[in-house]
Amino acid sequence: MPMFDDEVDQIVELELSLMQLAEKFGPIQIQQALYNQDLLPTYARSESEQKLVLLSDAVEHYLESDSFQSLAPSSKEVYKYEINMLVKYCKEKTGQDPNIKAVASALFLQEYLKPVKKDNTRSKKSAFLRSILRETLSHFFNQDINNLKKTLRVTTDKSRNVPRAFESQQIDELLSLARLGRESQRNFTILYGYFLGLVYA
């Protein structure tokens, strides 16, 4: 048998073995094991790409960054919850604090998001992941997340764009607030006319 055929057979055998290992242990564990054993090629990587940045270090930087600090208080709470979920998942899957580069792989992110069935929930998680990975990869590696945008797809809920009607209690509260302050009469007249127009439109 020609040498070329032997090499092809070896590659096929290797791929089958990897598939069996991935089915047994999961693709993320295989990737992490290769990384831990320093078996991933480094010849094509720049010095910054070879730098080891643990998830905990990335999280610490992100929480202090402008990207996080500029968020609304409610968004901060949601993102802190998402951080805890991500860290917990990594500990359960890998048993350790992984390199942020391993977390920023399409393979890892697909596995992490796979259990999420609702599009809205997946979009929220993807938005968080985009935010933390954009900030940390840019800061530590001068790298963007363009190659991850397809994996971290964010869709908008079109039903939320439909104007919602005010409830009568909300209208009463707005009109009451309009009566306060220096321009109370003017503000009340404008709001009252607006709501009256909605009723008779």
Q: What is the pLDDT of residues 56-90, one digit of tens each?
A: 999 999 999 999 999 999 999 999 999 999 999 99
Q: What is the dihedral of CA 81, 82, 88, 93, to 10 degrees?
A: 170
Instruction: Please give the backbone phi and psi of residue 153, each rounded to the nearest 5 degrees, phi first.
Output: -70, 135
Q: Find the domain containing 193 and state its range.
A: 168-200
User: What span, in angstroms and rounded, lies between the C-alpha atoms of 143 and 141?
Assistant: 5
pTM, to two decimals:
0.58
Give the pLDDT of residue 45.
Answer: 54
Low pLDDT (below 70) residues in the chain: 1-9, 35-37, 40-50, 156-166, 175, 178-179, 181-182, 195-201
The pLDDT value given to residue 17: 83
Q: CA 41, CA 11: separation in Å to the nearest integer?
A: 17
Residues 31, 88 share a domain: no
- DSSP letter for each residue of 27-46: HHHHHHHHHHTT-S--TT--
Residues 89 and 155 in one domain: yes
Q: Are residues 56 and 115 in the same domain?
A: yes
51 and 140 share one domain = yes
Structure tokens at 145: 């997340």
Do 96 and 145 belong to one domain? yes
Shared domain for 151 and 52, answered yes or no, is yes
76 shares a domain with 137:
yes
Residues 70 and 94 in one domain: yes
Query: Both 71 and 123 in a single domain?
Result: yes
**How many folded domains does the chain comprise?**
3
- Statement to judge: residues 28 and 94 lie in one domain: no
